[in-house]
Structure formats: C-alpha cells, structure tokens
Structure 1
C-alpha cells in the first residue's frame, strides 16, 4: 500500500490513516505552519539511529555526569509539540499538531522532556508502532538539551524492547550522534521486522541517569 492508497477522504486525515501510513513507511508533512494541505513523504534514503550506536561526545558525557537537569516521559507532550513548531520555517502545521495530539491521547505518540531550572529546555516526540519509534521532531532551548533528550530516549527505547528508531532524514546533527542513512528497501525490511515486535514505551520507568 502506497501514498496514493492512503489519500485523504472527505473527512480529512484521521489518526487511523496516519498509523497505517507509518506502517507502510510514509509520513505526512506540510509546506508551512499555516498551509492547509498535507503531502506524503517516502524518502529514497532513510535516516535511522541504531539503538546500540548512539555517539556521546566528551562534552555531552560531562553534561550527563553533572546531571544538572531532570528528564520526564509524556509530562508535557503539548509543550514539546509547540516548541518544535515554534520556528520560522516549519513543516508542523496546525493540522499536523492536532493529529499528533490525537495520537498522543490514543497512546501512539510520546514525548521525552528535559527540564532545567524547572523550565522545559529540550525534548523530542514521535510515534510508536510495534518495536518501531518514528522520531518526528526535537528542540533545544539550552545547550545540548536536544542531545540529552535523544540520549535518554535511545536508552529508554532499548530497555523497553524497541528495535528501530526512524529519524526520517539524516542531518549533520543526527549523524554526529550516530544516525546513518539506509535505502528505502532496507528501511522497509527493518520496519517489517520491527512491526512484529511487541514493545511498549511504558514497560519500564524512565531512568533518571544514564
């Protein structure tokens, strides 16, 4: 099943169709914050972050050891979503925000938050299906906050039995953290295997330290 088979119906895109899209390897984006229409994306080269291959730089390791922050899971999903969308150029439209808020209420979208001085300083959110975590976006308001979020998320996903962390695209930032790029065919093979895995992001408490 491809993007054309998942075209929006007269009632617009709904969470159930969105989950079917992820299961087939595609995801939606918008041209801008205020753009009404969404389009399906099916990259020929896919970014993934191996759960056993996260790279921790010396500076990030020092920041983790100092532990001058706290970490939470699903404490402020809307806050993370708003922060990820709060940038001059974004593909997170109002409709996309509403859809992922619905997925969160259905238990298929999750956020991990980094707190410093009692303020939300960084985070990441994404979608879960089987043993796959589909990373959507992340943000940082303090130095290394998004890196801290990814480090804790990778550790938590591994502990909870996940086998695939999909980053959609490979950026220089993600590459420095260990992300790699694979072909569409290889990705779909990994996705198929991951969907057969019974993982649960709530299976274990979130570790406060790494």
Structure 2
C-alpha cells in the first residue's frame, strides 16, 4: 500500500476517533469490495454498534463519516459508509446496513462466517486470508500501538476461524496461514 494513502486514512481515523468517542477501533481494509482492486475502505468498529437500531440519521458515526457512499464517484480511499449487498448481509449478524459499521466482535464473526460458509479449498482460503494479511488497524482506543493490537486482532480472527472449521478444513486452513505467515509475517 502506498504511504500517502495510509497517511490519509490515519488522518481520517484520528478525526473520526475524536468526533465519535464510541468508536473503539478503526480499520483500513479491502474486504468484500466489488469495485476497484486499489480501493480501500475505512471501517468503524464500536461495541455500541452491536445494538444498532438502524436509525442512521441520528448516528454520530453516520454523520462524522460523511453519510452513505456514492458508488458512482469512485475513490481510492472510501471513508463514507458503504451499503452492504444482500450477499454481504448473509455473513453479518446485526441490523447495520453498511459494510464498514460494526462492533469489533461482529467484524471478527463476519470473517468467520465468510471463511466457514465460502472457503473450502486452498485457493479460496488464501484469497480470503489475503484480506486479513492486508488490513491495517489505524486506531485502537486506549492503545498507543495500534499495529501491535492489530496483529493480536488478526490472530484472534485466525484462531476463531480455525476453531470453527471441521478438523480437515482446519488443517488446510492452518497450512495456508502458516505459508502466508512465512511470506508476510502478519501475526
């Protein structure tokens, strides 16, 4: 990822963290994107979002992020909220309509649901793991080293996915994780 994009995302994360004290984690990722390969999405994670009643008009995250994304106006860095497709919603629990507005636990479970529901061979596991490898934790409330906390969060995702798989798929999944860990050192 280019440094300028990461810097812009970090500045946006700082702004949102101040504007929305209920946001616990801010992540930069490319997960579940159907648009350009070089498009990055800022995801806002807060425990209070698990009880979202879907009244976005009064939500501070909705207001601070700039509201809903305009898909006809592509951008390399998307900081607005992106509406989830019906296929996306199958992997999420919760009432939120947007890809990038979840609790940290929902974000983790979304990865688990996607892996267990859709990834049953080496190729699909490696493709999905690529999203885990590439995402960046820009902000984690109460922690001065978000990158270190991000590595621990990635490990939590990996451990949760591994424990959700059947023994045969778990073994294949862990082989994929090991090969990517050797290549990228992401955990």
User: What's the TM-score once normalised by structure 2's chain length?
Assistant: 0.30
Bigger proportion of residues as helix: 2
Bigger proportion of residues as strand: 1
Higher relative contact order (CA 8 A, sep 6+): 1
User: What's the TM-score once normalised by structure 1's chain length?
Assistant: 0.28
